[in-house]
Structure 1
Amino acid sequence: MTDFPEELLRGYRGFRAAKFPRHRERYESLASKGQFPATLVIACCDSRAAPETVFGSGPGQMFVVRNVANIVPPCKPDDGHHSTSAALEFAVQCLDVKNIVVMGHCSCGGIAAALKSTHTPLSPGNFIGQWIEILRPIISEVVDNATVATSSRQSVAERKSVLQSLKNLRSFPFVKAREELGELRLFGTWFDIGAGQLWVADEHSGRFSPLDLALPHAESADSEAFRHGIEISRTFAI
């Protein structure tokens, strides 16, 4: 296949030459015994905000779902095709994950499109337009809030969309039930790409705070910080 993208071929060569041999037993175990990730991460498709990179995750450690603007839709069973909802159902019901992390990020194109659509609506038949319509309530809230400067709308909307996704997660009965039993924990995060910094939501106050790197094993998505909660130091109000 001579026209295969060269940059991907180089990466694959490196994987086969170095990474795979070092972790061969891990891959063989995953292939024969299956996967048992403790955490589901719902992130954006954006190439700059890969959760596996941010959390230093290896094979089999995280179950990752990525879509435009890291949106969790409300539970709405019908005849449509619901890839994010299906992945959520599989992660909770079949893989028995213990954590769900919604990971937003700065400069999100999906959020920018949602903000723009308040002035110039996207075509009703447009896939992205239909998808980001889920954000309509929070976009309207941000745009109509006179205390939010125009220059801050993007960042504020990115964080509010994470909070909305957490709310929508609880509209799924199997998520709500497990959280109430203490078997599942939900976290909202926002990644500052340029600073390489992860911010964590306090749902009660609506504020985001940088993850405290002094916490034990805070660099891992399957860490004590994510299993037992995250302490908050500084805050960012939205």
Structure 2
Amino acid sequence: MKLATLLPHYLVQRYHGWHATAFTENRAWYRRLAEDGQRPRAMVIACCDSRVHVTSIFGADTGEFFIHRNIANLVPAYAPDGEQHGTSAAVEYAVNSLKVAHLVIVGHTGCGGVQGCHAMCSGHAPELEEKTSFVGRWMDILRPGYDRVSDLPADQQIRALEQQAVLISLENLMTFPFVRAAVESGDLSLHGVLHDIAQGTLEQYDSKIEAFVPVA
């Protein structure tokens, strides 16, 4: 196959730097991970956005997080219809096989996917309405969230929809029978946070007051 080319030079340099420092200094730990397998404490579902660096935000070590990333950190509802579902498969593996104790949805400010959903649902992005748009059909998951925020003042809708991307995902997680069973048995806890990229802050959803509050 002649489609793939060699890595760009800057990535090769960074690899050699990592191998000479982080890997070499922790060689025994990496060997243990390879031989014993992974035992992550948490699954994190985050946006593909390059500005959201979840391992840095939480100071996670190699092997600590099982991470899945997609556009706008969305989880679809449970739908075993024979289609291929990357996010649903990742959730199933994390909960049923890895037995993670925590599942964290990490949303963020300035999310391009959320902005695209808002534009699509408000009639300003007809290209996303096309059946051939992978992004548009993925953002259909967030349409119920748009309906919830569409009556807010215009300058508040995007931030509210970013929150809905977290909440819709949490709600959809509970439609998976194995997730619901793990939550109800106390083996799994669900968490939703929103990361402000410019401020470096985190807000977490408090279900007792049904609002996002600063992580203190």
TM-score scaled by length of structure 2: 0.93
Map 1:24-103; keep pairs closer than 5 Å: 24-103=27-106
From 129, 135, 147, the counterpart of 2:142? 135
Map 1:141-160; keep pairs closer than 5 Å: 141-143=148-150, 145=151, 148-160=152-164
Residues 2 and 141 of structure 1: is their aligned pair in 2 closer, same or farther, counting only changes over 3 Å? closer
- Which stretches in structure 1 are left out of the alignment for 5+ residues? 213-238
Write the deviation string for residues 131-176 of structure 1: whole angstroms up to 9, x where unpaired. Answer: 0011111112211x2xx22122111100112111111100001110
Deviation at 1:42, TM superposition (A): 0.5
Give the match for residue 216 of structure 1: none
Aligned residues: CA RMSD: 1.4
From 123, 126, 136, the counterpart of 2:133? 126
Q: Is contact 1:108–1:158 with CA below 8 Å preserved after alignment?
A: yes
Q: Quick check: which one's helix share is greater?
A: 2
Matched, 1:20 2:23: yes
Give the match for residue 184 of structure 1: 188
Q: Is contact 2:44–2:106 with CA below 8 Å preserved after alignment?
A: yes
Deviation at 1:67, TM superposition (A): 0.3
TM-score scaled by length of structure 1: 0.85
Give the match for residue 203 of structure 1: 207
User: What is the percent sequence identity of the aligned residues?
Assistant: 40
Q: Is contact 1:103–1:162 with CA below 8 Å preserved after alignment?
A: yes
Q: Secondary structure at the match of 1:92?
A: helix
Matched, 1:107 2:114: no
Query: Structure 1 stretches (4+) deviating beyond 4 angstroms?
Result: none
Write the deviation string for residues 168-214 of structure 1: whole angstroms up to 9, x where unpaired. Answer: 100001110111111110000000011111110012433111111xx
Aligned mates of 2:117, 2:28 — CA distance in 1 = 45
Matched, 1:174 2:175: no
Q: Secondary structure at the match of 1:132?
A: helix
Q: Is contact 1:163–1:203 with CA below 8 Å preserved after alignment?
A: no
Q: Is contact 2:142–2:164 with CA below 8 Å preserved after alignment?
A: no
